[in-house]
Structure 1
């Protein structure tokens, strides 16, 4: 009787242990597999601590350095079969690609893949919403709140530290110069960045990102010209000075022409406060 009872108890323990082992395997099997199709989303994900889950990034991702080992996907021309083959559970897309890639994104959804479209951050407030959205999907709400708090702290410190040298300065932010000169106006993160600093965006009257003429720039006569086009400072100065009428612009006369890192300034992510300080340093003539 005792022997029979012992065997029965051991059998039950074995079954229970087996169930627990199965549960653990299933849990590990359900670990998220994430593909991020735009650099700003990738930077947010890494800063949230979601890096083991990332299996793929966009072809233009370059930060942090660990992304070089990830599989690459063209965010502007999605390869449905390649994405499907990677077996993602979540794909983080962006508003900028939503319309052009609508069919592919819908096909991915039909396969049970969670497609998260992050809206374009046209202000700091919308950036914070993007962080909250990504943090919520990845169950990193606490980390998301901490990230937002840290960005706000850095922004406030920069605004205070540079207020005296930046306040009221007229700035022209050049995003690209070929084939047309582009800048950011109202409802852009760059405009909000200048506003937070107390500087004046000379094209705050236009909506979104638009091409502007050299005549319009000369007429508005900026005190500082800052470029995020990726040109070196030497190449930028040479190009700006060669433009028709620019010799009369205050920024050119005072040699207030600066090239800054486009990634920290234009990517709506955790490094935006660093980008803001770079802009502040340029306006304050500290670069």
Structure 2
């Protein structure tokens, strides 16, 4: 079956007897949700959900440091990757030998398309359609802020880096009624203490990934902008664009209630 991935590449995918290796944690979780336990033969060391797969599936390295020879030895007939999360050179090397389907996601429309397309190429179109419907319903019914609050969403420390407007994180924030304090700053810009003091965001979200922010980091930011409310947040809920999206409305509703209290 000839399909077009989200990089507008032609990929020939077998119609049966799939041997899938997933190189992206959020897409691995999606494959599990679609019921592809038998078909998935390999995942990365960062594909921690579901726990049963993390414990039993063959791990083929990290998202940025794949074990190419190991992958070749496993003889996959479908590899599922992502433009941002995987290294271009490694993906291109694999694409010379195997069908590699690549996602490229910046917003909800592209996330829904990814779910739909992966459902189609893996023989799970109905399951994918039902999942998309459940996600959309959840967001339609989600509690939103009564008035916009500005948020600086931190993803890294030393240097400080935040989520800009060309990210899926930005889409999740604005979908819940937040305003990205760094709305015009590209993808993941570095920011300084002076910039934070000038912007004075209402809120600061310290994400659990990729940098694992902890309680000890709150005081560090609070000393720079003492008037802002600082919260630790689950990065998976803001950046995983697969089946995890079913859980996001409930998580955001709880976060909004916490902010109100």
Q: TM-score range by the shorter chain?
A: 0.7 to 0.9
**Alpha-carbon deviation of 1:239?**
2.4
Matched, 1:40 2:26: yes
Matched, 1:88 2:76: yes
Measured in 2, the distance between the counterparts of 1:125 and 1:283 equals 24
| Aligned partner of 2:41 among 41, 55, 70 | 55
Query: Is the contact made by 1:44 and 1:270 (CA closer than 8 Å) also made in structure 2?
Result: yes
Query: Is the contact made by 2:81 and 2:91 (CA closer than 8 Å) also made in structure 1?
Result: no
Matched, 1:261 2:234: yes
After superposition, the Cα gap between the structure-2 partners of 1:87 and 1:193, relative to the gap in structure 1 and judged at 3 Å, is same
Give matches, 1:190-205, under 5 Å.
Answer: 190-205=169-184
Name the residue aligned to 1:281. Answer: 254
Q: Which has the higher helix share?
A: 1
Query: Is the contact made by 2:145 and 2:256 (CA closer than 8 Å) also made in structure 1?
Result: no
Superposed CA deviations along residues 205-246 of structure 1, whole A, max 9, x for unmatched, are 1112221222112211111111114323x223222224xx32
Give matches, 1:202-241, under 5 Å.
Answer: 202-229=181-208, 230-232=212-214, 234-241=215-222
SS at match of 1:212: coil
SS at match of 2:37: coil
Structure number, greater radius of gyration: 1
**Alpha-carbon deviation of 1:58?**
0.6
TM-score (norm 2): 0.84
Superposed CA deviations along residues 188-221 of structure 1, whole A, max 9, x for unmatched, are 1111112111221111111122212221122111
Larger RCO, structure (CA 8 Å, separation 6 or more): 2
TM-score (norm 1): 0.77
Matched, 1:169 2:157: no
**Alpha-carbon deviation of 1:80?**
2.5
CA RMSD in angstroms comes to 1.9
SS at match of 1:93: strand
Measured in 1, the distance between the counterparts of 2:116 and 2:246 equals 17
After superposition, the Cα gap between the structure-2 partners of 1:106 and 1:239, relative to the gap in structure 1 and judged at 3 Å, is same
**Structure 2 alignment gaps of length 5 or more:** 1-15
**Alpha-carbon deviation of 1:128?**
0.6
Matched, 1:122 2:106: yes
**Structure 1 alignment gaps of length 5 or more:** 1-29
